[in-house]
Amino acid sequence: MGSPTWRLVSGFNSLNRTNVILQHLRMSKHTDAAEVLLERKGCAGVITLNRPKFLNALNLSMIRHIYPQLKNWEQDPETFLIIIKGTGGKAFCAGGDIRVISEAGKANQKIAQDFFREEYTLNNAIGSCRKPYVALIHGITMGGGVGLSVHGQFRVATEKSLFAMPETAIGLFPDVGGGYFLPRLRGKLGYFLALTGFRLKGRDVYAAGIATHFVDSEKLGMLEEDLLALKSPSKENIADVLDAYHAKSKIDQDKSFILEEHMDNINSWFSANTVEQIIENLQQDGSSFALEQLKIINKMSPTSLKITLRQLIEGSSKTLQEVFTMEYRLSQACMGGHDFYEGVRAVLIDKDQSPKWKPADLKEVTDEDLNNYFKSLGSNDLKF
């Protein structure tokens, strides 16, 4: 028999803070493993994303298990911190279960509304959580996985971390609060990451400001044990443990940030207020790095590029909750459009990597089109 595992048994179709039955189960090797494990260990509540075959991709059922338990732990005087991690070693969480959402959206099923509403509600709960929240972002961390980690107090990267927000390639936008945290990265780094989907690896995830700490992956188990062994820890006690492991990490210690030599240019190119101007800046520069980024941007959904730039510009002066309200509007507009389904088809289903965007040209994405993506949903707006 393994360690006691709290598994939520729920019979609700929308977020419900009450009437949640906690059933105490012991996981044995004969039991079908739950997609997410929720355990009380030492001083902490531990969330383990447990879909290794799917790179721990986040689905609606997992969100509906995590949210009420997070709220319970936040109120529990015996729980002093919350740790979230993924199984399998390859991914923390590679994103939301986009194929399922795409199929549901095409069939006009309510899941396309519920998924984004409940995902952003969970992301917001992480951002406002009164207990220290430690995300071990070991392995692939993209999209929905970023939403489960980046708004928490502590994010621990390893040499195997791989961060990206590649949504413009599938006709979407960097959601899960991307409109909040991306424009707050240094200079125009967040704008660059959002529009190009550029991948950051290992210590660069820390250097970019996405992770708060960097730990060699072989020490991750010991770090977790040391955190669990703390007695009634304060936020400062937890930070001290993380700082000590960070200070001792040796991998790539002297390596400079991969984008360091390009940062002045990135800040200049991506300070434009229109995607067309950014493209012109890259063309005028003409360096191999600029032309490489230009090639990448030209493959993205023109609609997604324009939505994303405006999302970040507007998000730079909004609160996190205001950003989620804005992003929920955008998500529902994308579900009613063409490019998301075409992007999922080209990248994830047929894998021909040749999406036929509509419109296919930036010039055809008008200000009126854009305004429609950002307009209020009235009584269907996401409210906190």
The one-letter amino acid at 364? E
User: Global pTM?
Assistant: 0.90
The predicted structure's pLDDT at residue 200: 98
Beta bridge partners of 91: 140
3-class SS at 369? helix
Return d(Cα 94, Cα 90) in angstroms, integer.
Answer: 9
Q: Summarize the confidence of residues 279-294 as an average pLDDT.
A: 98
Task: Find how far residue 233's CA is from the centre of its chain.
Answer: 27
User: Between the CA atoms of 233, 239, 243 and 244, what dihedral angle is there, to the nearest 10 degrees?
Assistant: -10
Of 21, 12, 20, 31, nearest in space to 4 by CA: 31
- Active-site choice (42, 127, 139, 144): 144
The predicted structure's pLDDT at residue 91: 98
**Per-residue confidence band for 33, with pLDDT thresholds at 50, 70 and 90:** low
The residue count of the chain comes to 384
pLDDT at 381 over 80: yes
Burial of 257 (0-12, 13-18, 19+ CB in 10 A): middle
- Residue reference for tokens 């309510």: 110
**Per-residue confidence band for 109, with pLDDT thresholds at 50, 70 and 90:** confident
- Active-site choice (39, 97, 159, 167): 167
Superfamily classification of domain 36-251+261-380: 2-enoyl-CoA Hydratase; Chain A, domain 1 (3.90.226.10)
Return d(Cα 265, Cα 261) in angstroms, integer.
Answer: 9
The predicted structure's pLDDT at residue 261: 97
The predicted structure's pLDDT at residue 17: 35
**Per-residue confidence band for 4, with pLDDT thresholds at 50, 70 and 90:** very low
Our answer to whether residue 144 is catalytic in this structure is yes
Q: Domain-by-domain residue ranges, the chain?
A: 36-251+261-380
Number of C-beta neighbours around residue 262 at 10 A = 17
Return d(Cα 69, Cα 16) in angstroms, integer.
Answer: 11
3-class SS at 297? helix
Task: Find how far residue 102's CA is from the centre of its chain.
Answer: 18
The predicted structure's pLDDT at residue 106: 87
Our answer to whether residue 343 is catalytic in this structure is no
pLDDT digits over 156-182, tens only? 999 999 999 999 999 999 999 999 999
The predicted structure's pLDDT at residue 125: 98
Mean pLDDT of the chain: 92
Return d(Cα 27, Cα 159) in angstroms, integer.
Answer: 31
The predicted structure's pLDDT at residue 11: 33
Our answer to whether residue 367 is catalytic in this structure is no
pLDDT at 21 over 90: no
Our answer to whether residue 177 is catalytic in this structure is no
pLDDT at 317 over 50: yes
- Active-site choice (45, 96, 145, 171): 96
Return d(Cα 334, Cα 171) in angstroms, integer.
Answer: 8
Return d(Cα 307, Cα 343) in angstroms, integer.
Answer: 15
Return d(Cα 364, Cα 98) in angstroms, integer.
Answer: 27
Return d(Cα 172, Cα 49) in angstroms, integer.
Answer: 24
